[in-house]
Structure 1
Amino acid sequence: MSELVRALVVKPDISKPRWDQSTFEGRAKHFVTITNPMNLFATDSQLETSKTVIENFRKGVVSDTLTVNDLWNAKHLFDSAYHPTSGDKMFIIGRMSAQVPMNMAITGGMLTFYKSPAAVIFWQWLNQSFNAVVNYTNRSGESGSTTQLLTSYCAATGGALTAALGLNALVRTMPPLIGRLVPFVAVCVANSINIPLMRRSELTDGIAIVDAEGNEVGKSKKVAKSAITQVVISRVGMAAPTFGLIPVIMNVLEKKPWMKAKPGLAAPIQVFLAGAILLVSTPVGCALFPQMTPIKVEDLEPELRDKIRSMPKPPEIVYCNKGL
């Protein structure tokens, strides 16, 4: 049975995730709660209750019956639905908990209808439109301006369509399995365009560098490149198992007599497989790298390194929020 919060001498620190983020296991547990599709079924009343619990706790107001588990459950539900900066309730399909159900439908569509140019255009456009909604919903500050969102959306959509349509033409005479891998290449191209464009201000001005207490000590262009690269790898890592495994599975299934007799089963099977794989690959992909990435001061640009070392009690390790 979970302890009562009021009875604790040291109260939980809900400004940080519940689990140790320096370990892969701790990060994976954290992102399982953040991306849990069941959060989408929470009613407005449940969301408001979680918000009240968290806001009261931050003010030092704790119910006599509030347990540690209740507090963390409220925090996870609160984080899943409310913007961390503005505090506004986020558009439902833009929330991280909508990643699995939305991506399973879109991925299933891209893998099923990958031959027709019209279908390729529709599904790649839909995928980038969903990504734009997610980016807009989770926007924060200058790096999430409407202009940047529109630019990255158009560029990513164009890149994905060019890759998908061009590769489809090249692999037309190749084995079906090769053709099924085309959507994955298109998604990789889109991510490689979309994310750097969305965060180009960090590449030109630098990403915020903070100390262990969260105080900003400067900005680094060098670290920005590394952080954005990690996010691209994470996004590709989330998509790789679905786009890599499902084509192999379907290539085997389509040779079976029962599948030849009922080819219409291909779409629901691929959607189901995508959902099952994404339930694991989404939190795992998010957890590949620490959210707050540690950086040795000696590895920073000379001017920033010298600035930090001139501070009273200068830190040897600083951090950046790499993003998602």
Structure 2
Amino acid sequence: ISREMLKSNRMSGDLPLNINIKEPRWDQGTFMGRAQHFFMVTDPRNVLMSSEVLEDARVTVENYRLGIMKPGLTEDQLWRAKYIYDSAFHPDTGEKMLLIGRMSAQVPMNMTITGCMLTFYRTTPAVVFWQWVNQSFNAIVNYTNRSGDAPITVNQLGAAYVSATTGAVITALGLKALTKVSIIGRFVPFAAVAAANCINIPFMRQRELKCGIPVTDAEGKRLGESSTAAQQAIVQVVVSRIGMAVPAMAIPPVIMNALEKKAFMKRFPVLNAPVQVGLVGLCLVFATPLCCALFPQKSSMKVSSLEPELQERIRQNNPHITTVYFNKGL
């Protein structure tokens, strides 16, 4: 973009065309900056956006990148459009994501599923059913928020789904059989979810581990695909997901254990599930963005840590590059 064009835009009161909306609005080098970014990305209200609003945001963002701007567009409106766009479209493929797989659906979906897992933990059929529901949802989320643009086959999806669901159910039932104390029994769903995350995410993203994910320079130029980067990305996502589950699955059981002894809850046991779901939702509103912010979305690693053949290729073509970047997924 020429200096004359930028100067002309400023003089006419139009927005300059040099705002970098490929990157988040806040500094991603700090935890607080990442937290502000993810509070926007995971805002549950984004789930309610109509197709027309999403399409308008997509057009605004893509046109701005091409140097085309709506008359009267302000910087705040541009950033709002960028975050609406980011909440619904995949960063690597540009495809509209499945509604319940979007990060903005995490709080309402997880509060319902987790609340029910924590409420209906006493019988084996209930444990099996809610672990199955949870892993079905996780499979959709992990597929929707995978890193890279490589397709995944139906067989790979099926294998990942069956492995994660089986792992979660076996863990939950095994721990339930070993647990006789009421308060400890309430933590069985968390242990099962943590174990399942360690299975579900790597399986759902196994293609990335085999074929690698795109790595770029600081400007976004693609340098190749790296399985080592995929391993780092998946470990970070597993840690974040388990971290998200900790407050939502550890705090409500303690509160509910105390509440259920009160006369009021004994008189109205029907309130058990709604109160549990509400407590989980309160925890998730904060835990989801804060745990997403544990690691930068645009993750990085030293060229010297990549596979030898990719190191060699980068050093031959771009000898000045010492660090590569990649989308870790969510």
TM-score, L = length of structure 1: 0.90
Alignment partner, residue 193 of structure 1 = 199
Please state if 1:120 is matched with 2:114.
Answer: no
Give 1:210's match in structure 2, choosing from 216, 225, 244.
216
Please state if 1:153 is matched with 2:158.
Answer: no
Q: 1:263 to 1:135 in 2, by over 3 A?
A: same
Q: 1:239 to 1:84 in 2, by over 3 A?
A: same
Of 302-311 and 277-286, deviating more is 302-311
Whole-angstrom CA distance in 2 between matches of 1:8 and 1:48? 21
Question: Secondary structure in 1 aligned to 2:280?
Answer: helix
Alignment partner, residue 293 of structure 1 = 299
Question: Residue 153 of structure 2 aligns to which amino acid in structure 1?
Answer: S
Give 1:46's match in structure 2, choosing from 39, 42, 53.
53
Whole-angstrom CA distance in 1 between matches of 2:63 and 2:208? 35
* Kept in 1: contact 2:17–2:67 (CA 8 A): no
Alignment partner, residue 70 of structure 1 = 77
Deviations 1:34-66 (A, max 9, x none): 111111222233223222322332232222311
Question: Secondary structure in 1 aligned to 2:300?
Answer: strand
Deviations 1:204-260 (A, max 9, x none): 343333211222334433333222111110110111111111111112222222222
* Kept in 2: contact 1:81–1:90 (CA 8 A): yes
Whole-angstrom CA distance in 1 between matches of 2:129 and 2:23? 40
Question: Residue 69 of structure 2 aligns to which amino acid in structure 1?
Answer: V
* Post-superposition offset of 1:167: 0.9
* Kept in 1: contact 2:139–2:204 (CA 8 A): no
Whole-angstrom CA distance in 1 between matches of 2:316 and 2:240? 35
* Post-superposition offset of 1:129: 1.2
Give 1:321's match in structure 2, choosing from 316, 319, 327.
327
1:204-243 to 2 correspondences below 5 Å: 204-243=210-249
Question: Residue 164 of structure 2 aligns to which amino acid in structure 1?
Answer: A
* Kept in 2: contact 1:19–1:29 (CA 8 A): yes
Whole-angstrom CA distance in 2 between matches of 1:147 and 1:96? 25
Please state if 1:257 is matched with 2:257.
Answer: no
Give 1:90's match in structure 2, choosing from 76, 91, 97.
97
Question: Residue 257 of structure 1 aligns to which amino acid in structure 2?
Answer: A
Please state if 1:134 is matched with 2:144.
Answer: no
Of 311-320 and 186-195, deviating more is 311-320
Deviations 1:9-49 (A, max 9, x none): 45311112111111111111111111111112222332232
Please state if 1:170 is matched with 2:184.
Answer: no
Please state if 1:34 is matched with 2:28.
Answer: no
Return 5+ residue gaps in structure 1 as ranges: none
* Kept in 1: contact 2:216–2:324 (CA 8 A): yes
Whole-angstrom CA distance in 1 between matches of 2:83 and 2:287? 20
Whole-angstrom CA distance in 1 between matches of 2:289 and 2:225? 28
* Kept in 1: contact 2:142–2:205 (CA 8 A): no
Question: Residue 98 of structure 1 aligns to which amino acid in structure 2?
Answer: A
Deviations 1:185-214 (A, max 9, x none): 110111111111122233334333321122
Whole-angstrom CA distance in 1 between matches of 2:119 and 2:12? 50
Question: Residue 283 of structure 1 aligns to which amino acid in structure 2?
Answer: P
Whole-angstrom CA distance in 1 between matches of 2:168 and 2:217? 38
TM-score, L = length of structure 2: 0.89
Whole-angstrom CA distance in 2 between matches of 1:74 and 1:61? 14
Question: Residue 64 of structure 1 aligns to which amino acid in structure 2?
Answer: P
Deviations 1:129-157 (A, max 9, x none): 11222234446643633322211111100
Give 1:184's match in structure 2, choosing from 164, 184, 190.
190
Whole-angstrom CA distance in 2 between matches of 1:290 and 1:200? 22
* Kept in 1: contact 2:31–2:293 (CA 8 A): yes
* Post-superposition offset of 1:87: 4.1
* Kept in 2: contact 1:121–1:161 (CA 8 A): yes
Return 5+ residue gaps in structure 2 as ranges: 1-9
Q: 1:194 to 1:33 in 2, by over 3 A?
A: same
Question: Residue 197 of structure 1 aligns to which amino acid in structure 2?
Answer: F
Q: 1:191 to 1:5 in 2, by over 3 A?
A: farther
